Chains A and B, each alone.
Chain A
Amino acid sequence: EAGVAQSPRYKIVEKRQSVAFWCNPISGHATLYWYQQILGQGPKLLIQFQNNGVVDDSQLPKDRFSAERLKGVDSTLKIQPAKLEDSAVYLCASSSSWGGNQPQHFGDGTRLSIL
């Protein structure tokens, strides 16, 4: 079974620029998550999709962050404009359904550095 695919692995942008990340979940997984992991911290959920609908985006800074999952499969996360505090690893995860007993499977993440 192929895992969660994310690209790019690394991204360096200057502050105030825009940046986008892509995620392809495990085939058949209906639930997709985007997390932000700042150095020394645990991952923090930004947004959760069930198919192509948003379940929870309460911690997404909506003034600069946006995410979509148009066809209920792959997803993109965008930051515009980027700020220095956005430097982090952005992790995508998927699960077969929505519930505590369905472990989330993570991709290897995109490491973002803001200059």
Chain B
Amino acid sequence: DQQVKQNSPSLSVQEGRISILNCDYTNSMFDYFLWYKKYPAEGPTFLISISSIKDKNEDGRFTVFLNKSAKHLSLHIVPSQPGDSAVYFCAAIAGAGSYQLTFGKGTKLSVIP
């Protein structure tokens, strides 16, 4: 049972335009969400996070939006750069218990120069 879903395996965007990566979740106990970026042959790198008490968090070119009622979050990258080409993983944590990260399957973003 996939509790964190990234339904788009891949996304292509022109350089300078906005990239929007989507993530849906089913577990209502999730209260903290993170985005990780992964280059080939490297480990995931933390990008940005958001607590369930917020609906938006911004860090430079990266903004994460959370819609709790829809159990949906999205990562916006503006403007997109070729160096942003990577696999992006959405992850979630349920506050109680072990703080285990549950990952989605990832979305491969390609930014075309």
Q: How many residues of A contact B (CB 8 A)?
A: 25
Stretch of A11-19, A64-72, A73-81, A101-109 with 4 or more beta carbons under 8 angstroms from chain B: A101-109
B43 at interface by CB-CB < 8 Å: yes
Chain A contact residues: over half helix, strand or loop, or mixed? loop
Q: A45-B100, A107-B43 in contact; A100/B31 too (CB < 8 A)?
A: yes
Encode contact with A along B37-49: 1 for CB under 8 Å, 0 otherwise: 0000111111001
Contact residues of B between 52 and 90, Cβ < 8 Å to A = 89
Contact residues of A between 34 and 90, Cβ < 8 Å to B = 40-45, 48, 55-56, 58
Q: How many residues of B contact A (CB 8 A)?
A: 26
When C-beta atoms are compared, the residue in chain A nearest to B95 turns out to be A100
Asked whether A105 lies within 8 Å of B46 as measured between CB atoms, the reply is yes
Contact of A108 among B43, B93, B98, B105 (CB under 8 A): B43
Asked whether B106 lies within 8 Å of A91 as measured between CB atoms, the reply is no
CB distance from A109 to the nearest CB of B (A): 6
B binding-site residues for A, Cβ under 8 Å:
4, 31-32, 34, 36, 41-46, 49, 51, 89, 91, 93, 95, 97-101, 103-106
